Each structure stands twice: as C-alpha cells, then as structure tokens.
C-alpha cells in the first residue's frame, strides 16, 4: 500500500498487502458472518440436520452442535473467527444455545447491511441495536416463569428439550437422559449466600462405546479410567476408607546426578534392603491411617505395590489431578501432599469401590458415597460417533439445567419467546422515533429467524407460520405460541412442555448483538500479506457465494 505525499510515493505497507476500505470492508464482514450463521442454521431444533466434518487426517465428526461445528471448521477469515468466539462464549457461559447465538448474529449483520445500503450510518444502527438488546432483556425478565431446585419435573423438561435436537435425543432416550442430568445437577448444587450455585466441573462425563444410549447411568461418585495396579489386590471393597495422596510411593531420584559405589555383594544387598525398608515404611504409613483404598496422583513402585497387596489395600496410580479433586468432593477425603501428614481424619468414604471391565478396558467405580458433591454420568452408545454425540447432548443438558437453577427462570421455547420479543420491539421502535427505530425494527425481524428456521425444518410454510405467529402474539394470551415441529403446527409451547432457560436466550441476544456491533464498526481492513479468496486485493463484492 502506498500514499501520495507532496508528489512523492511513500510506501506504508509491503508490496502484496491488501486493504479493504469503507463499504467494501463492511460488505465483506457481513457476507462472511452471514455465511457462518447459515452454515449452522439447518441444525436448529429437533428436526434439524447433522453436519459431517472431515479433518485433514481423515477424522470424522458427525454432529449438530453449533460450537463443535464451528470449532472443527477451521475458519480463516477474521470476521468468521469473531463468530466462532460468539459460539465459544455461549458454550462456556451457559452450555447451550450456540446455534441460536451464531445464527442471530449473522442475521443481525445481514439486515444491518440493508440499512447501510439505505445510507443509514453504522453508528446509528449500533445505537439502535444496543437499545433493542437492552429492551429485549427487560422483556425477557417480564415474560419469564420461576423455577426452583426442587421443581424436578420442570427441570427434566428443560434438560430433555436441550438434548432433543441431538441424534441421541429422539424418542424416550431424551427423557431418560434428562432425569439423569437433573439428578446429577441437583446432587452437586450448593447454596451460597442465599443463592444456588452449580459447578459443572464436578459433574464428570465419562464415555465408552458399546451397549445402547439407554445404558447410560449416573454414578453417585467418581468413575476413574484406570486399573488397580496389582493383581493380588481385591477387585471389590465394601465400606471403603479412601486416601488421596499427591506424592509418589517410590524412591525418588536426586535432583543432581549422584554416584553410588558398591564394591561387594553385601553392600548391594544392604542397599536393596534399605530401599525396601523405605518403601515398607511408606506403605505402613498408609496402613496406619486406616485406609483400605489408595488413589495416588503419582507413581507407585512395584515393591510398594507388593506390600500394599499384602495388607489388602487397593491402589490406583497416576490418577489425573481433576479426578483427584472430584474424588475429594465425592468422598469427603482431603488430598495429602505428604505421607507423614496422612491421618484417619484425611480419609474419605465410599460404600463400594470396584474394578469392572467395560468394553475390554478396566475401570474403577467409586460409588455409593454419602451425599457426594461430585458425580459421574457414564455415557454408553453403539459406536464412537454416537457416544461422542451422546456426550455433547449430556453436556448441553447440564448447561441448560444449571443455567435454569442459577437464574431461577425459564421461558417458553419453539421460537415463541423470539416472536414475543419481536412483537414488543416493534411497539418499542415507534416510541423511540428517528433513524434508530429502523435498527430496532430490523432487530425484531432478525429474531424471527428462529421460528422461521424451525418451521422450515418441520416442512411448514415459513411465511404462513410467521404471519400466524405475529397475529397470535398480538393477543394477550398468545405470548407462549410457537412452532410445534412434531405436529407441524402453531401451538402453546408451555403447555407442550417445550421450555428453555432464560439465561440461554439472554446470553445469545447479548453475544449476537455485541458481535454485530463490533463488526459494523470496522471500516478498514488491512492485511500484511494476501490470504487468497478471504480478502482479495481488489476489494470484495456483495453478498456472493465466495464466502460460503
């Protein structure tokens, strides 16, 4: 890039660098963001389609989870990366609603492009979008229904609706999985300062192919994907007293190089006996605490294994740090960093610790714990792809139920809340006046992408459905009317039990509007070197198919 200055040509960027200015930069960003939204749009809802993603190595992922699709897509364009960030934020914050957030962001930008073509400044659109997002949050609060930790029936509906769009969520499976998810979340939920807090990290999701999705089970404890270290140890222990140790049961090497000179067999024997004695003392310390099960984060020497087996102590080594934390939460044990500090007070309790063979691999089940604050959902399914999708469905369900409990509110689903917000925003737009009202009106139009997509996936006429929904939502008793995809008709979603956490909708609208505002502010894109079709040196055209 070069600029003229006093007749001289001044080189600012290296040759080959590309730059997009003004409307060209805005058009490109809008086209890319809309293409990303369109890529995941068809996956929305229980009748949504799946995507098959094939990596360079030939690995296959089959899913309709928005965050997973965008993560595997390996996008290059900076605007596309911002849309991927929207999905990641949504997934991290609430664990569900990623497709809605990305789709809404793309739709907001596409409609902003129409306003830009009408010579409405980007700053005016951004102000209008900000007001619309704030008003939408207010309406969400007013139209939400209350839910508590004790309302298991409502929470189970939220979980099953969240998982209903996944392949494993068809039929009765989603109801069975929904019950497991709600039980798990309620078990780990804790009340702090009058609020219910759910730490999803303490719900471990373990998966193993084989069996059926109906074989998925909730373990009131922790499943450790390791085996018992010595064949002479018991494979099953009732009333287990569990010790958790963060130090190795082996003779550690010195930090600096050391040389030991042995000149006679007696010296060698003495050295080995001393080593054996040290290991025996370590095992004696474990036994003295009263523990009959030991989980070690580091290694256990073969000789130490032998002594542990002789004392009837079950041992598992090289357990992950995250699993050690979960074991501590589930059993009530304290993690000992030094064997000298280990005492009976540090031990945890589990009704049963057992090694079982699952799909050809040994796994240790720590279960029947007293009021565990860490549990495990063990996902089973016929093949690797199905079990992976089952895991994603469970994670979505956990996120949705946790969000509903923490926020204490839910709304009707099936596109009904989006239609209600659109109706209220159109009324609000007339009160605002000026050019900003046009931005608020297109924000309302963009929200209708959710019911429109659901209608299309159910084989309904999208225009007729939207017209019907608009009419019904103008009535006082029509706020819960949405798209019944199974019945292919407009129906009362709350009565059908199609409900979603308010927090999911709130986060989706906030993420989408902020991402749209960020991309609309950009009027200059400079690239140090050409990146091919993503940013052509001659500038970009309109909403063409080059960015699909």
- Count Cβ atoms below 10 Å from residue 388 Cβ, excluding itself: 20
Confidence bin at 331 (pLDDT 50/70/90): very high
Q: Does the structure show a pLDDT above 90 at 255?
A: no
Q: What was the pLDDT predicted at 535? A: 47
pLDDT in tens, 48-96: 888 888 877 888 888 877 778 888 877 888 888 888 888 888 888 887 8
Q: Does the structure show a pLDDT above 70 at 531?
A: no
Hey, which CATH number is domain 223-371, 3.40.50.2020, 3.90.870.10, 3.50.7.10, 3.30.420.40? 3.50.7.10
Q: Does the structure show a pLDDT above 90 at 353?
A: yes
Q: Which of 21-35, 145-159, 481-495, 497-511 has the lowest mean pLDDT?
A: 21-35
Confidence bin at 537 (pLDDT 50/70/90): very low
Q: What was the pLDDT predicted at 548? A: 41
Q: What was the pLDDT predicted at 86? A: 87
CATH number of 18-146+412-525: 1.10.560.10
Q: What was the pLDDT predicted at 13? A: 55
Q: What was the pLDDT predicted at 542? A: 41
Tell me what the mean pLDDT of segment 287-292 comes to: 91
Q: What is the 3-state secondary structure (H, E, C) of 127-162?
A: HHHHHHHHHHHHHHHHHCEECCCCCHHHHHHHHHHH
Q: Which residues have C-beta within 8 Å of that of residue 216, sequence separation ≥ 6?
A: 176, 177, 180, 377, 378, 379, 380, 381, 390, 394
Q: What was the pLDDT predicted at 387? A: 87
Tell me what the mean pLDDT of segment 261-290 comes to: 80
- The domain ranges of the chain are 18-146+412-525, 223-371
Which among 500, 481, 546 has a CA at the least distance from the CA of 35?
A: 546
Q: What was the pLDDT predicted at 538? A: 43
pLDDT in tens, 167-190: 665 566 777 888 999 999 999 988
Q: What was the pLDDT predicted at 137? A: 93
Tell me what the mean pLDDT of segment 303-311 comes to: 91
Instruction: Record the tokens describing residue 464, joined without a space.
Output: 């007729």
CB-count burial class (<10 Å; 0-12, 13-18, 19+) for 57: exposed
Q: Does the structure show a pLDDT above 70 at 192?
A: yes
Question: Across-strand partners of 61?
Answer: 53
Confidence bin at 195 (pLDDT 50/70/90): confident
Q: Does the structure show a pLDDT above 70 at 295?
A: yes
Q: What was the pLDDT predicted at 475? A: 87
Q: What was the pLDDT predicted at 3? A: 53
Tell me what the mean pLDDT of segment 345-353 comes to: 92
Q: Does the structure show a pLDDT above 50 at 510?
A: yes
Q: Does the structure show a pLDDT above 60 at 44?
A: yes
Which helix or strand (DSSP H or E) is residue 173 part of?
helix 173-188
Higher-pLDDT residue of 537 and 444 is 444
- Rounded to an integer, what is the distance from CA 83 to the centroid of its chain? 16
Instruction: Tell me the chain's radius of gyration from C-alpha atoms.
Output: 29
Q: Does the structure show a pLDDT above 80 at 424?
A: yes
Q: What was the pLDDT predicted at 24? A: 80
pLDDT in tens, 452-504: 999 998 889 999 999 999 999 988 888 899 999 988 999 999 999 899 999 99
d(CA 146, CA 148) in angstroms, rounded, equals 7
Catalogue the active-site residues.
Answer: 65, 98-99, 396
């Amino acid at each position: 890039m070069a600029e003229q200055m006093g007749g001289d040509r001044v080189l600012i960027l290296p040759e080959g660098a590309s730059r997009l200015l003004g409307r060209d930069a805005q058009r490109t960003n809008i086209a890319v963001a809309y293409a990303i939204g369109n890529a995941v749009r068809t996956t929305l809802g229980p009748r949504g389609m799946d995507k098959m993603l094939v990596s360079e190595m030939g690995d296959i992922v089959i899913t309709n989870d928005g965050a997973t699709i965008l993560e595997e897509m390996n996008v290059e364009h900076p605007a596309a990366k911002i849309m991927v960030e929207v999905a990641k934020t949504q997934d991290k914050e609430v664990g569900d609603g990623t497709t809605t957030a990305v789709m809404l962001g793309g739709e907001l930008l596409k409609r902003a492009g129409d306003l830009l073509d009408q010579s409405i400044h980007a700053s005016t659109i951004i102000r209008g979008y900000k007001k619309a997002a704030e008003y939408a949050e207010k309406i969400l609060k007013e139209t939400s229904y209350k839910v508590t930790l004790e309302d298991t029936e409502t929470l189970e509906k939220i979980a099953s609706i969240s998982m209903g769009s996944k392949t494993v969520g068809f039929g009765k499976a989603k109801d069975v999985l929904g019950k497991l998810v709600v039980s798990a979340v309620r078990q780990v939920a804790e009340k702090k300062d009058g609020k219910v807090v759910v730490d999803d990290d303490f719900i471990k999701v373990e998966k193993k192919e084989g069996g059926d999705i109906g074989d998925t089970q909730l373990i009131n404890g922790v499943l450790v994907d390791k085996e018992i270290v010595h064949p002479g140890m018991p494979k099953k222990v009732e009333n287990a007293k569990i010790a958790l140790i963060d130090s190795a049961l082996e003779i550690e090497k010195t930090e600096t190089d050391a040389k030991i000179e042995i000149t006679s067999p007696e010296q060698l024997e003495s050295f080995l006996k001393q080593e054996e004695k040290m290991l025996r003392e370590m095992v004696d310390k474990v036994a003295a605490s009263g523990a009959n099960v030991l989980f070690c984060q580091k290694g256990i020497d073969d000789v130490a294994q032998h002594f542990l087996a002789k004392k009837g102590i079950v041992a598992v080594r090289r357990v992950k740090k995250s699993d050690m934390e979960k074991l501590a939460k589930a059993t009530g044990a304290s993690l000992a960093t030094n064997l000298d500090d280990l005492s009976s007070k540090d031990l945890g309790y589990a009704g049963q610790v057992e090694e079982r063979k699952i799909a050809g691999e040994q796994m240790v089940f720590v279960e029947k714990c007293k009021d565990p604050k860490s549990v495990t959902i063990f996902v089973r399914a016929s093949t690797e792809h199905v079990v992976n999708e089952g895991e994603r469905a469970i994670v979505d369900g956990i996120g949705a139920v946790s969000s509903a409990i923490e926020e204490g509110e839910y709304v009707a689903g099936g596109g009904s809340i989006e239609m209600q917000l659109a109706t209220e925003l159109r009324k609000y737009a007339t009160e605002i006046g000026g050019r900003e009202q046009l931005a608020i009106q297109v924000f309302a139009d963009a929200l209708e992408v959710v019911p429109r997509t659901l209608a299309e996936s159910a084989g309904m006429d999208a225009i007729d459905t939207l017209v019907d929904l608009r009419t019904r939502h103008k009535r006082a008793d029509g706020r819960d009317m949405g798209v019944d995809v199974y019945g292919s008709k407009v129906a009362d979603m709350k009565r059908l039990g199609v409900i979603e956490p308010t927090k999911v909708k709130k986060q989706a609208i906030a993420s989408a509007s902020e991402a749209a505002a960020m991309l609309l502010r950009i009027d200059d894109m400079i690239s140090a070197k050409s990146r091919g079709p993503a940013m052509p040196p001659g500038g970009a055209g309109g909403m063409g198919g080059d960015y699909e």
